[in-house]
A and B are shown apart, each in its own frame.
Chain A
Amino acid sequence: MIARLSAYERVGRFAAIAGAALVLLSVMLPWAYGKRALDDMTYFFGPSPLQLCGAGVAAVCLAALIAGLVALPGRGPTMLCWNDMARVGGIGLAFYVGAVLVAVAVATGGLVNVEAGGWLAFGGAVLAALGGLTLPDSPQATLSHFLTPSWGQIAAIVVAIASALFAAAAAVNQGDVEDFVVFGVWLAAAIFLVRASGVFAWLSLAAAGNRQVLVMAAFVAAFAFPFTQNGSDANMSVAAQVLTFAGTAIGLNIVVGLVGLLDLGYIAFLGAGAFTAAVLSKSAFATLSVDLPFPVVVVISGTVASLLGLLIGTPTLRVSGDYLAIVTLAFGEIFRITMNNLDGTDGPNITHGSNGVPGIPNLNLFGFDFGQSHEILGVTLTRHANYYMLLLVVIALIIVVFTNLNHSRIGRGWVAIREDEMAAEAMGVNTFALKLLAFAGGAFLAGVAGSVKAYTDTSVSPDQYVFLESAFLLAAVVLGGMGTVMGVLIGATILKLLPEKLRFFDDYRLLLFGALMVLMMRFRPEGIIADERRQLEFHDEDEELAEDVETELVVHQAHHNLEGGKRS
């Protein structure tokens, strides 16, 4: 059996097996002197949670190496891509253990505080990575070709969503910067490992077949999130910010991702919604203070924002798309300057100028006071947890609007405009009306998000709505994947959560952001989660990719037909 391996691979594979086993064993040894480093890695036979995380990756890596040995080349494709898993797992392990050592050195002042166990783990991980690099590529996994029973698919989706919830809660709960970074590296390694195995491809098929289950599970998990935070208002405040940001970014995604219009002043629409809600609120500083029920305020805020969208879109959408980028940027500036100037001296007093409108009272819907903490099922839900729940409802609405539009005649028209405006027009697509609709519709969603933001933050001021915020929204869309909901949610989470947790790099945030935008456009313009059509558009010379996408679509379609056949 082993004789059929090339000499090169034989050495590599056994080196990798030895390396992964070493990491697994080293977990039983202490990795660091001093309890302060990470989560106390000082015990013999008492691995800490982070050590256990590493052991998990090592174990999977080991299992993949052995499974790859059993399913030798020449026997055709295997269920999972064992060799790819082993390779990616080994590299991930090396990064992870490396990050642990650096974190220990940073927390305790020097690499001298790394115990022998830590070095052993590092050596093993590097060995596993180098060994893994010698393995040949796996053939495509056959997992997708099996028809799993639908309960199996549903169970898999639930497990996937539950682990996502668990990972999110664990990430937010990491107190120290070092713990957060190390956990982040581990999470990235684990995600790449699962992706390499081919399970993601299968999961996405399962998800496509059980869309309702997926959506339900995702929302249940999102609603369950505050219960994992037991009364930590700070964490829920971050979560609420992430949701507001994500909701706005999804609105922007209509304009940028679907229609392909670059809007650089989108934050102004969020601001318009927030200012409208603030001015109409019962705050002592509100200038219009009308006693309206909250849902009415939400609709008014959205309408004001979309009217602004029409105002700016009507003149500019007739000319080439490049102008729109700069005009929207100019509009964002006009909005900020105007909000600053409506202070009673340079214009009528509506917004109190740079002071804005503070002291917006908490919402009270159907007797539920959003300002109070509530006990539910023995878990305290704090003020921000209440708003988080409200924002979830809003974001759910936004996602429903987005996906329905995307899959409708209107959505297809938008994509046609994005791909080739002239061709779309020649085919009878009313390009101007559709572009205007996208612009006003996106603005409406941002206005709605803004009205809730005003209540969540309790104050609104012009300096929250600067160009950089628009750029960050755009970055969330680009980073996550233009035209997809999932991608934008991930992009928004990364862009809001990282700066909150990594305060020390606050000063370098923008520098990295700028570099990231350039690198993304250069190497992965379609974003983390790629929309298939988008991916092809950005890589139209890549024949291999085109074939891959096509095979995937064919398999996808076959699944669909089979399932349809089963049902009828």
Chain B
Amino acid sequence: MTPDLFFEQLVNGLSLGSLYALIAVGYTVVYGIVQLINFAHGEIFMMGAFGAYTVWLLAGSPTELSAAAALGLLLPAMILGGILVAVGTALLTERFAYRPLRGAPRLAPLISAIGISVFLQEFVRLFYGRIPGFPDSKRAIPFPHIEGISGNSIQLGDVSIKMTSVFTVAALLICTAFLWYYINRTKTGRAMIATSQDPDTARLMGIDVDRVIMSAFAVGAALAAVAGVAHGMYIGNIDFKMGFMAGLKAFTAAVLGGIGNINGAVVGGVVLGLVEAFAGQVGDTAWKDVWAFVILILVLVFRPQGLLGAKVVDRA
């Protein structure tokens, strides 16, 4: 492998890994607090991407914006719209599908989550395209061109780095910084830590556990929505089933880093992205998706607590 090729795959791996990391945080935060694998999280990511796309449509599908207008107005509006849709969906599913099942045998919320996942995919597939003026959602929808990011790249010697990659990695860095501040420096964040350590004691100390769980779902959904926008720009299109594979990979990343551990999710995501990029370069791309799952199984055999380790909660 030439150094150029190596560098190219490094950038690919980092961008892919940043996407996985952004989604993986959602799995890990929710798992840390309620010990639930939110199977529908991949669909929340998809809803975020569709929310952002909807904002672009409602803004009149602008195509001829200047870079300043696109980056200063359109993109923030799209990200905000995506976050609103994703957080709304996540809170609704939490309220109507998961909260009533708290305390039920563990199988129940997991099955409910599968139901939500299928429902959301089908809902978007069947009904999004029916809104007048919206594109057919049964096939992939091209994501809008954001002047200043899409199609641009920066040159570093012989290598060119796509701006979409820069955006994705930057998104991860900014989101992680915010997340760190939110968890460690705000009242809600510390309530989340307390609840994840011992929900009953937290309740006795006056923490509203329901609110904490809702904020965990909301935080995860917000990051997933950012990932949805980044994914749309990086891949170039969005579709109703984009959440399935991405969700699986992100879950793998969360397990890889140690589920329940937020830093672990970020590290796991980046590692998984790099492994996938280099494995695809060295081996046959037809087997690309298999690698992630082989890693998942290997981690479970040899290091079930993940790379960074997390307390293995087993509240039977």
Q: How far is the CA of A521 from the CA of B36 in the complex (A)?
A: 15
Nearest CB of chain A from residue B292's CB, rounded to whole Å: 8
B265-293 Cβ-contact flags toward A at 8 Å (1 or 0): 00000000000000000001011011011
B181: interface (CB < 8 Å): no
A322: interface (CB < 8 Å): yes
Nearest CB of chain B from residue A329's CB, rounded to whole Å: 7
Q: Which A residues are CB-close (under 8 A) to B294?
A: 334
Q: How far is the CA of A341 from the CA of B118 in the complex (A)?
A: 27
CB-nearest residue of chain B to A516: B115
Nearest CB of chain B from residue A370's CB, rounded to whole Å: 36
Q: Which B residues are CB-close (under 8 A) to A319?
A: 300, 304
**CB pair A323 B109 closer than 8 Å:** no
B89-119 Cβ-contact flags toward A at 8 Å (1 or 0): 0000000110011001111111110111111
B11: interface (CB < 8 Å): no
B61-101 Cβ-contact flags toward A at 8 Å (1 or 0): 00000000000000000000000000000000000110011
Q: Which A residues are CB-close (under 8 A) to B251?
A: 326
Interface residues of A: mostly helix, strand, loop or mixed? helix
**CB pair B107 A518 closer than 8 Å:** no
Q: How far is the CA of A480 from the CA of B111 in the complex (A)?
A: 14
Given contacts A316-B300, A334-B293, A422-B316, contact A538 B122 (CB under 8 A): no
Given contacts A316-B297, A341-B287, A346-B286, contact A260 B118 (CB under 8 A): no
* Size of B's binding interface in residues, CB under 8 A: 48
Cβ-neighbour of B290 out of A337, A420, A520 (below 8 A): A337
Q: How far is the CA of A329 from the CA of B105 in the complex (A)?
A: 20
B314: interface (CB < 8 Å): yes
Cβ-neighbour of A522 out of B105, B112, B296 (below 8 A): B112
Cβ-neighbour of A325 out of B37, B112, B116 (below 8 A): B37
Given contacts A325-B37, A422-B316, contact A330 B122 (CB under 8 A): no
A454-497 Cβ-contact flags toward B at 8 Å (1 or 0): 00000000000001100100100010001000000000000000
Cβ-neighbour of A517 out of B114, B123, B248 (below 8 A): B114
A315: interface (CB < 8 Å): yes
**CB pair B112 A518 closer than 8 Å:** yes
CB-nearest residue of chain A to B291: A334
Given contacts A337-B287, A346-B286, A525-B108, contact A322 B115 (CB under 8 A): no
List A residues 486-529 near B (Cβ within 8 Å): 507-508, 510-511, 513-518, 520-522, 525
Q: Which B residues are CB-close (under 8 A) to A467?
A: 244
Given contacts A334-B290, A346-B287, A510-B118, contact A517 B300 (CB under 8 A): no
Q: How far is the CA of A441 from the CA of B122 in the complex (A)?
A: 34
Nearest CB of chain A from residue B37's CB, rounded to whole Å: 5
Q: Which A residues are CB-close (under 8 A) to B301?
A: 315
B196: interface (CB < 8 Å): no
* Size of A's binding interface in residues, CB under 8 A: 52
Q: Which A residues are CB-close (under 8 A) to B289?
A: 333, 337
Q: Which A residues are CB-close (under 8 A) to B284?
A: 341, 346
**CB pair B107 A256 closer than 8 Å:** yes
Q: Which B residues are CB-close (under 8 A) to A262?
A: 107, 110-111
Nearest CB of chain B from residue A429's CB, rounded to whole Å: 14
Given contacts A331-B293, A334-B293, A514-B118, contact A323 B300 (CB under 8 A): yes
Given contacts A337-B290, A518-B115, contact A507 B255 (CB under 8 A): no
List A residues 300-339 near B (Cβ within 8 Å): 312, 315-316, 318-323, 325-327, 329-331, 333-334, 337-338
Q: Which A residues are CB-close (under 8 A) to B107?
A: 256, 260, 262, 482
B5: interface (CB < 8 Å): no
Q: Hey, which bits of chain A sit against chain B, CB under 8 A?
A: 256, 260, 262, 264, 312, 315-316, 318-323, 325-327, 329-331, 333-334, 337-338, 340-341, 346, 420-423, 467-468, 471, 474, 478, 482, 507-508, 510-511, 513-518, 520-522, 525, 537-538
